Amino acid sequence: MASMDFDPERMLSALTDAELRYILIGGMAAVLHGDVGVTVDIDIVPERTDENLERLAAALSGLDARIRTEGEPDGLAFDCSAEFFRNLPPDSIVNMTTEAGDLDVAFCPSGTSGYADLKRDAIDIEAADRLHILVASLEDVIRSKEAAGREKDRLALPRLRRLLDHLSGAG
Amino acid sequence: MSISNIVREARRRAGLTQSELAERAGVPKSTVGRIESGARNPSTGMIERLVRASGLDISVSLSEPDPGTDSMFERTLRRSPAERLADATRVARFVLRGRRQVATASDG
């Protein structure tokens, strides 16, 4: 798996084909809004219902998802089941590596209260041919990055705010 | 980020309840609650006090926007979301290949 090519379209297709209810957030969401930043993973916020966790586990198993960790390029195998995700604390982030690249799953990203909160302003975007996904609004991407406060987010935020101004005609 | 979110996020990161933060900062619990709910607009001194009581620092900086960024946005926004995803994928693959080469060279 270490030699895989990053393939976000395949990842998003697998999630969508599994009928998973999720919101795309993070750097790739910003890219779909028009950001020019570099991002090398996918961040999603799934709805945390029993039925959806089953779909999440099935989609991730299909992508051979493993836990991403330093010093283990292929990641670590884990119990990829609905039960695993059900037992996680609400603010957990699961960093995974898959056959199609790195994927992070968060149920309650920083600065948000999760799927329902983000769905309110999410936008349906055709990210590839007939691949429609719900993408967090740029305002919510910014809100989450502001709250996360990581160095890479701090560096991206002035550009994302500028993009927001640009899109609203204020830039 | 709104003031209320800054205070709530700092408290959350410290793993404190509103009462615990209030006690550490030496303010009434209602003050923390009102700030977090947006019902009170605190002074900068009060924000700093609550953030520091959470074990964090807060700073504000001013910067000039990069004039080249707007022209990059113009170009990107002329492309469809699917084209943006394809562009981002190509760039990410390039970056990841570079990282792997650096890692291989370091190992060797």
Per-residue model confidence as pLDDT tens digits over A30-55: 999 999 999 999 999 999 999 999 99
Share of chain B above pLDDT 70, in %: 96
- Which pLDDT score, from 0 to 100, does residue A3 have? 46
Residues from chain B contacting residue A9 (CB–CB below 8 Å):
85-86, 89
Distances (CA, A) of B81 to A9, A31, A101, A123, A153: 12, 8, 20, 12, 22
Q: Where residue B101 falls among pLDDT bands split at 50, 70, 90? A: confident
Q: Which of A132, A147, A133, A141 is CA-nearest to residue A161?
A: A141
Tens-place pLDDT, residues B64-94: 767 788 888 989 999 999 999 999 999 999 9
Q: Which of A32, A38, A110 sits opposite B85 (nearest CB)?
A: A32
Residues from chain B contacting residue A127 (CB–CB below 8 Å):
81-82, 85
Tens-place pLDDT, residues A56-74: 999 999 999 999 998 888 8
Is the pLDDT assigned to residue A1 strictly greater than 60? no
Average pLDDT of span B18-25: 95
Q: Distance (Å, rounded) from C-alpha B21 to C-alpha B19?
A: 5
Orientation of helix A151-167 relative to helix B67-77, angle to 10°: 70
Q: Distance (Å, rounded) from C-alpha A121 to C-alpha A138?
A: 9
Is the pLDDT assigned to residue A105 strictly greater than 80? yes
Q: Which residue has the higher pLDDT, B97 or A85?
A: A85
pTM comes to 0.78
B65–A contact, CB cutoff 8 A? yes
| 8 Å CB contact of A6 and B85 | no
Orientation of helix A8-17 relative to helix A50-62, angle to 10°: 140
B76–A contact, CB cutoff 8 A? yes
Tell me which H or E stretch contains B93.
helix B81-107
Residue pairs spanning A and B at CB distance below 8 A: 81
B91–A contact, CB cutoff 8 A? yes
Average pLDDT of span A144-171: 86
